[in-house]
Chains A and B, each alone.
Chain A
Amino acid sequence: MLSDQTMSVVFDGTPLKAMQSSHSVTQQPALSTQELSQEIKSFISGVDAVQGRKLSVREHARCAVRLLRSVPACRGAVLEHLRGVYDEHVSAFLHNLETEGSASSGVNSNLEDIIQEVHGVLSEFIRLNPRAWAPLVSAWAVDLLGQLSTKHAGRRVAPHSSSLNELLQLWMSCAATRSLMEAYSQCLAAMLAWCPDACVDALLDTSVQHSPHFDWVVAHIGSAFPGTIISRVLACGLKDFCSHGAKELVIGVDKGSRVPKIGSVVGILGHLASHHSDSIRKELLRMFQESLSPSSPLSPTSSSTSWESSPQLRRAAVPFLLQLAAMSPNLFGAVSAELVELLRPPVLIQLQALLQGLPREELDNMLGLAVHLISQSPSGGARVLRFLADTATPASVIISGPTPSPHEGVREGCDRLLQMLLLHLHKLVFNRSDAAEVGPHHSALSQPQRVIPFLDELQSHVGQLCAETLRLERKRHLWLHQLLCLLSVYGGPSVATEALCQLLTQARNPEELALAWQLHTTLSSCMAGLVPSAVTRCVAQIHTHTLGPRQLRQLLLNLAAAIQSQDEERRGAAAAGAQSSMAVQMGSAVSGHLHDFGPLLLHGDPAVSQAAVYLLSCSPLPRTSSPAHLLLLSRAAVTHFFLALRRRGEAGKVGRDVGQAGEAVNCSVQLLSRFAAYSPLTLKAVLQQLVEGALHKGNADLFGGQIADMSGAPLASPSVSPDLGASLLDINCRFGTTVNFSGSVWSVFHAGVIGKGLKVRTAPHLLDPSGVIQNIQTLMSVVVQCCSSSGLNGSINGSLATSDPDEPPPINAEAAKVIAVTLVENVCPDVANGELSWPPEEHARTTVERDIHIRRCFEAHPVLFSLLQVVAAGRPALCYCSAVLRGLLATLLSHWESSRGVSSTDSLWHLQASCLLVSCMGEGQLLPPVLANVHEAFPHLTPFEVRLLLLAVWEYVRGNGPMPQKFVFSSEKGQFCRDFSRDGDVARYVAPIHSVLHKNIDRLGHLCWRFQL
């Protein structure tokens, strides 16, 4: 065919000729009107008008192209016809793919060259006259693309619309769609210069129409023109948004569908977000910033497009962005993080100026939207919150003068926003829990618990929130506190526990601690067991060592304060009931964890241990507790007591913190007495450990004791005390890591390092006597308090104590027995001859070594006498000390016997020991008063006479054994007493006394009355 030949010539030369200017003359001989008329007829009927045969698809298409080139009026019809051609090609292409055969490849390629031709013509037209053709072709191409992708979406080879990349690959490998795409890109490139909005409008419209299937087109175009498309899409959306009016928009995505463009804007940007999230973010932020920057015609921004120049659009930009963010979490997430950074004071002021012009209703809408967004934002919530709180917190009163600064409006806005946010969250949180409560069985599945991402995110920031709340800045802490409440309700018990625990840990004074009460008050209504779990959490914190000493101390003090508020409540009736209930709960919770707090008594930091004492001393004791825990606690308490004593001594020496150290000791005393009063077991344990502790080598110096050093090494002068640097502990620590048998391990012995001579004796660390006395006093008071408390026979002693408050309660016999037994165990290592009854004095020779040991003990530990006195007071406990008494008396006897001094006062210690021993025995009613009084005469006698009197004592005790069963409980005195009348005649033991009296009547006359029978 002639025309075919011309066409092929034309198309072969197309690229070259198309490059020529608009004056390129027509490349074909102009058809006559007759021919054109024939062509039109052929085109319409699909039959060759001359030869009368049917046209093939190919010929038909060529005919159409000829018409397109020569008859302008046929333009629409031709393009419509070409749709069919393109469609056919796509069908063939897909069919070919499906059959995977080459059967129809011939047809395929045939159509492909036609499509090439059409594409060539169209692109030539666009090149020559973009203004006329680009809108036309772009609309056509986009529409056709939409139609094709929708129509063939269901094909077997077509991937699912969600797999955008595969879809893109498929369509771009198809000549028809690729050609359309290229044509559209060409149009777009041409149109961007003068009417970018129109082409993007068309794209958006089509995108809405063919929603999921058309996405690949948008994605492709978007990635081809990312910058322009994104900004255009935004500008388009903004214009559309503006023309629809923001009034129609209410919060909620469902309403957004009324504005179709914004929906597709969101969709498109969502697609582009995967690859161009950066530019999208930049574009969105730029939009925001430019909408704020004052419209100055003097500064023409280079990138300014049409919307910036219209004040109306600029005003709509912020609501538009909000709406956009509300509809797409992706976009919102992309922007939110940087947006907060952008909101610096100048920007805020601009924003305020911009928003002032908006009607109130619209503002309210925006506010609601913003609140909704914040509550839905999955990340950056903490930053947003901080920003809001920072901005909304009023400046101090002094700075903000009578006239509100320009920031005032901003602040108020933020304030309002924050309050709305809290209200909104409140609604969300409580509605949510309501829903969950109403229908747990039937609606739980259909309506899952609504997630509030904002709160979700903040859950990990509870600690910071608590810290900020506790700063007690005005207003701010109210908001944050409210938020904490919401967060706790939202997050359930775990978050609530965490919050309460944090508050308890971080509070530093009663005002701050009150926040914890408030939180608990709010939450207690909907959450049970909050306090116990919070305490458990705190204990867990202690166990994991996450707290520093200061924090630990603070936590313990706070807990103690919490418990003590109970007592205050009891005293002052005006305090709130809720607080007391919390205090009670707190008390019981802490009491359940006493054994966890016990180890803290021995914490290296005195402040911590003191706080622990404080807590333990004010916390109620559990009703039941395992013995192991109790023993541990009492051991720790006693150890702490001695530590406190030592600290007091050191503080006294240095001269500071005396009061505090004293207070610590008092607390410790109080704690011990409470423990002792708790149960017989604890009493026993406490007493036992107190005694053992007092006699312990390390503590002996506290009570004026001297450690009897068995080694004979000379005392090194303080100036030359070379540190050998050998420590068995160090070597043992290293032992596992370094294998070093170079002899050093084996060269360390208890007596010194081999080759270095004997270990140097450390100079005894002597306290000043007043300190010693004070310590002994303290110890005695503890022991007495423990012994006299209602531990063993609580009912009896308690009743007595209440009946006669002036008189100190009597020493409990059982307690005294505990002391006695412990004493004996510690002082007298040898259990042989430990029976209570005394042998004849001569038999004492069999136990000389033991007796000497006992005497040395008494020499080393003056406190033993005091303890003996306590024991004596708790009759008949002294009986159990029989062995000790006997040993001491035996050594005293031998001393006085061998003493060649003129007066007993020459050996002072022995005199004192004798006096104390006898008076103790008298107090313990091991001796009748007549014999017990003999010690009054000792200082006036010669050693031999003292021996005589002591012998008399021995004899009496031998004759009348110190048996507990000889004591009878007298209810009027409240203690055991011994009736000496039942024993044998005292007179025969009194004879030597009288002889001595007689001999020294000149000096002892005034004492005679003491020895009357």
Chain B
Amino acid sequence: MGDIRQSLLPRDVLSAAKELLYHLDIYICNLVQSGRQPPQVDSKTLELVEEFILHAPKDRNTPTRRMSALQELQLLEIMCSCFQEQSRDTVRQLMFSALFNLQGNQADESRMALLSKLVSMAIAVGRVPILECAATWLQRTHRVYCVRLAQVLVDDYCSMVPGSVPTLQNIHSASPRFCCQFITAVTTLYDLTSEELSPPLELLQMIVSWIQDDPRLVLITFLNTPLSGNQPISSLDVTPLGGLMRWCIKAPLAYRSDKKQALSSGGCESEQEVGPLFSALHLSVLQVLMLLPTILNEKGLYGRLALLQMEALAALVSDLSRLLDQADKHTHLSSADVHTLSQLALDRLAQALQVSMASGALLCSREDLRAICSRLPHNNLLQLVLSGPVMYYNNIHTPPLAFSPHAAHSPITSHPTHPTHPTHPTHPTHPMTPTHPTLPTHPAHTPHAPLATHPSAHPQYPAQPFMTGMPFPYRPSH
């Protein structure tokens, strides 16, 4: 492959790129057919890609060649058809990785630029294969770059070109996987910490409609991905659940106030739309959470894989308390409004916590939750959630078992009478009753009461008496 460099050099920019793509296709086909496992593109080829497609400066002596925007468009068009026409997934995937997997060198910038344009164009002209490849890319790449890709897409379709939102909307049907990853990236990007980081209304509407139409959308990546343990560090979350929860909880305080400033001159109709949108979104999130136990059980991961990270939760709570402080201090709303809004946020937090704990998405003790949430103002629901069911206190804190297919059902089988199991088959679709209706409230109960000894003595965790205040031994999912 490296020997074609000499023949590429005298070509003009576009022909060289075209030719290299052609050769790359052949080379990867050969690679796959040779059956070598794993198929690996050698570094020489990667260098060629960088030189002739990405036009990264190879060294100082050779002048950097640049493609004009028109040539670049032609190249993108060729790539589109190239990926479209390639029938074999493996080849396609390998080729995409060869072109766009980040190498940690200075070519990454142009790589990102080209990728963004390619994906944007693929969305416009409906190239599903590219979107699938991009979905994979989004799973494997560091979240910073994923966020950048998402940013470009949002800019392109939601702000730059008016009326192009429907085009983006189509990706849901075109490539649900990509759509799911896109949502994850977008929720990571827009964390509602500032005005710039608030999702545009169009995007919000789009996401809500997607999830309302198909709540399982958010779990597609999770469902389709074998948890092989080779999840790259700092990649995006497996599901957008955490990000969506953050949106819903912070929105009453953050989104509103920010939009208020931004749209002070404009109409307020969008504001009235925003509240219901987040409500619907919250509901959808809770519904999705309710789906989880089944899925987790199917996968044998219940209680062992935390889809929601404690750190993220802690950050969310501290953000929330900061927002609450701000809302108290300077606001243009009446105090009654502020109170309503903060109670709404706290309610949502409590509901999300309860459901996610119950559904096994969040693995932590109520003790830890209490510690995390101690700074929040009073909220009835939250108090309830934090105090928890007294009699089953212990059960909830069962440390997860080792990840083993044989012990997959152990949490359920060992406690068959668990009354608060949220994914009890008898009422799996009961949406708004995340807590057991007969749950006795017993605030006077103290966690210091003597408890039964720890029921399970996992090999990894030496049997020891449960000690209050001891943090939940967090365990990564692999």
Contacts and interface: CB of A to CB of B under 8 A. Distances in A.
B157 A125 contact: no
Interface string A710-735: 00000000000000000000000000
Given A41-B77, A44-B73, A26 B125 contact: no
Interface in B61-81: 68-70, 72-74, 76-77, 80
Contacts of A523: none
Contact of B70 (A36, A41, A44, A125): A44
Contact of A73 (B68, B70, B117, B166): B117
A76 to B, nearest CB: 4
Interface string B122-164: 0011100000000000000000000000000001110111111
A71 B160 CA distance: 10
A77 B162 contact: no
B167 A128 contact: no
Interface string A380-411: 00000000000000000000000000000000
A24 B162 contact: yes
A66 to B, nearest CB: 11
Given A21-B266, A33-B126, A73 B162 contact: no
A124 B161 CA distance: 10
A25 B121 CA distance: 21
Contact of A30 (B72, B74, B118, B166): B166
A77 B72 contact: yes
B120 A26 contact: no
Contacts of A132: 155, 159-160
A77 B166 contact: no
Interface in A20-76: 21-22, 24-28, 30, 33-34, 36-37, 40-41, 43-44, 68-76
B77 A40 contact: yes
A74 B164 CA distance: 13
Most buried by B among A26, A75, A77: A77
Chain A binding surface, main DSSP class:
helix
A72 B157 contact: yes
B437 interface: no
B267 interface: yes
A72 B73 contact: no
The contact size tier of chain A is: 35 or more
Interface residues of B, number: 30
Interface in A691-748: none
A133 interface: yes
Contacts of A41: 77
B21 to A, nearest CB: 16
Given A22-B162, A132-B155, A70 B124 contact: yes
A124 B68 CA distance: 26
B121 A80 contact: no
A70 B120 CA distance: 11
A40 B76 CA distance: 10
A334 interface: no
A81 interface: yes
A480 B77 CA distance: 79
B121 A81 contact: no
Given A21-B266, A44-B77, A77-B69, A70 B166 contact: no
Given A73-B76, A80-B69, A37 B125 contact: yes
A133 B72 CA distance: 21
Nearest to B84: A37
A80 B70 contact: yes
Contact of B161 (A34, A43, A69): A69
A120 to B, nearest CB: 13
A165 interface: no
A28 B161 CA distance: 13
A72 B164 contact: yes
B73 A27 contact: no
A482 B120 CA distance: 76
A72 B76 contact: no
Given A26-B163, A41-B77, A71-B121, A76 B69 contact: yes
A79 interface: yes
Nearest to B152: A72
A129 interface: yes
Contacts of A25: 163
A653 to B, nearest CB: 98
Given A21-B266, A24-B162, A70 B72 contact: no
A81 B70 contact: yes
Contacts of B156: 72-73
B69 A79 contact: yes
B164 A26 contact: yes
Contacts of B121: 40, 71, 73-74
Nearest to A30: B166
A451 B160 CA distance: 58
Contacts of B266: 21
Nearest to A40: B77
A21 B124 contact: no
Given A44-B70, A76-B69, A77-B69, A36 B163 contact: no
A81 B68 CA distance: 10
Interface in A103-158: 124-125, 128-129, 131-133
A125 B76 contact: no
Given A25-B163, A77-B70, A79-B69, A71 B124 contact: yes
B163 A69 contact: yes
B303 to A, nearest CB: 44
Contacts of A70: 124, 161, 164, 167
B160 A75 contact: yes
Contact of B162 (A30, A37, A129): A129
Given A69-B161, A72-B161, A30 B76 contact: no
A477 to B, nearest CB: 64
A73 B126 CA distance: 13
Contacts of B157: 72
Nearest to A129: B159
B369 to A, nearest CB: 40
Contacts of B76: 73
B263 to A, nearest CB: 10
Contacts of B74: 44
Contact of A40 (B117, B125, B163): B125
A340 to B, nearest CB: 46
Contacts of A125: 160-162
Interface in B148-200: 155-157, 159-164, 166-167, 170
Contacts of A33: 124-126, 170
A74 B125 contact: no
Nearest to B166: A30
A326 to B, nearest CB: 36
A661 to B, nearest CB: 94
Contacts of B160: 72, 75, 125, 129, 132-133
Contacts of B117: 73
A26 B72 contact: no
A77 B71 CA distance: 8
Nearest to B80: A37
Contacts of A27: 163
Contacts of B155: 72, 132
B159 A80 contact: no
A894 to B, nearest CB: 133
A128 B162 contact: yes
A26 B162 CA distance: 7
Given A73-B121, A74-B73, A75-B160, 5 more contacts: A71-B120, A72-B157, A72-B161, A77-B70, A125-B162
Interface of B: 68-70, 72-74, 76-77, 80, 117-118, 120-121, 124-126, 155-157, 159-164, 166-167, 170, 266-267
Interface of A: 21-22, 24-28, 30, 33-34, 36-37, 40-41, 43-44, 68-77, 79-81, 124-125, 128-129, 131-133
13 contacts: A26-B163, A30-B166, A33-B126, A40-B125, A43-B73, A68-B161, A70-B167, A72-B157, A73-B156, A77-B72, A81-B70, A125-B160, A132-B155
Which 6 pairs, one residue from A and one from B, show the smallest C-beta to C-beta distance? A26-B163, A33-B126, A72-B156, A76-B69, A77-B73, A73-B121
